[in-house]
Homo-oligomer: A and B are copies of this chain.
Amino acid sequence: MIKTPYLLFLGDAPDGLAAKVAQGIKDWRPENCVGQFRMEGCKADLGLTDMTLAEAKEAGAKTLVVGVANRGGKISQAWKKVLVMALEEGFDLASGLHNLLRDEPDLVAVAEATGRALHDVRVPEVEYPIADGVKRSGKRVLGVGTDCSVGKMYTGLALDKSMRAMEMKSTFRATGQTGILITGDGVPLDAVVADFMAGSIEWLTPDNDPDHWDVIEGQGSLFHVSFSGVTLALIHGGQPDALILCHEPTRTHMRGLPGYDLPSLEALRDMALPLARIANPACVVAGISINTQHMGEAEAVAYLEALEDRMGLPAVDPYRHGADRLAEALAAL
């Protein structure tokens, strides 16, 4: 569990895209963000108050979150200077970089001396159990995709936001590094050892109020041969009551797999639902989330309307039009 609120470290980001993790935190959990820390030459700007470490500390920030990709595959000495000073000022550090904070002897030594925590969210910090398959109380919804990177995290966050706005009980359950940094907690599923994958998701989504929804962040795709096992562990560990089908209509082949076509949404439904019903016979497909970022507004609206007719399910782009109709579909279950 990463202590909030955060000071977002944007480093010397060459552009806004390099700081997309920080952008995600600011978009979805603005209440967790006290301000931003930018180094000389930083080209990213989240529109948050620029703060020194001391100012952020004074404003209540507990953790400095590395919200920016590093360059050249190493943590530069210029960054290190800030990170060490942050530890000395009393901040914990959190990062999703491939280069782990814990692999830097100077950071480890200063963190030990100052009693601060280093959170590498790519690495599990918990010994997860083996899944026992026992039914848990409360409701769960999971996004499953025709492919990787079609907007499953975004769908989950938007759905959680809509559900809260409708005064439904909802918790977004992060299963990837960006989601973990956004919410401060979760399971880095792609880094969990095979035998414990499903168990880690049971651990993440425990018994809850009967009318509470865990919105579980999806990963991979049953149709993506590199990561399909991760997806199935998520389905069987999560025991979802409802699936949201996620799709990006302009993709020409599976991400990173040029020889592989994307499945249809019907094929996804017909593969995912029987698998989900092994763990939860009551599971249904509740709606469809379409990433229309490469379509014009008229084209997107026409596509979604035709899809609703074809599949008999609410179909929305949560970025363009919000996720309220998906939340309503869950409320109606």
Contact = CB atoms under 8 A, between A and B. Distances in A.
Nearest to A131: B226
A195 B227 contact: yes
Nearest to A135: B259
A236 interface: yes
A88 to B, nearest CB: 34
Interface residues of A, number: 41
Given A232-B232, A237-B225, A278-B223, A193 B192 contact: yes
B233 A198 contact: no
Interface string A165-180: 0000000000000000
Interface string A248-261: 00000010110110
Given A134-B259, A229-B229, A193 B191 contact: yes
A228 interface: yes
Contact of A257 (B133, B193, B232, B257): B133
Contact of A229 (B130, B135, B197, B271): B197
A250 B230 CA distance: 31
Contact of A222 (B189, B192, B198, B275): B275
A229 B225 contact: no
Contacts of A225: 131, 133, 198, 236-237, 239, 278-279
A224 B190 CA distance: 20
A199 interface: yes
A194 interface: yes
A312 to B, nearest CB: 22
Given A194-B233, A226-B133, A229-B198, A271 B260 contact: no
B227 A198 contact: yes
Contacts of A239: 225
A235 to B, nearest CB: 8
A60 interface: no
A199 B256 CA distance: 14
A259 B133 contact: yes
Nearest to A188: B194
A115 interface: no
Interface in A126-146: 130-135
Nearest to A197: B229
21 contacts: A130-B226, A132-B226, A133-B259, A190-B193, A191-B195, A194-B197, A194-B229, A195-B227, A197-B230, A198-B227, A199-B226, A222-B278, A225-B236, A228-B232, A228-B278, A229-B230, A229-B231, A229-B233, A231-B232, A232-B232, A260-B278
Per CB-CB distance, the 7 closest pairs between chain A and chain B, nearest first, are: A229-B233, A225-B236, A229-B229, A131-B226, A190-B195, A133-B225, A229-B232
Given A133-B254, A222-B275, A228-B236, 11 more contacts: A133-B259, A197-B230, A199-B226, A222-B232, A222-B278, A225-B237, A225-B279, A229-B231, A232-B232, A260-B278, A271-B275
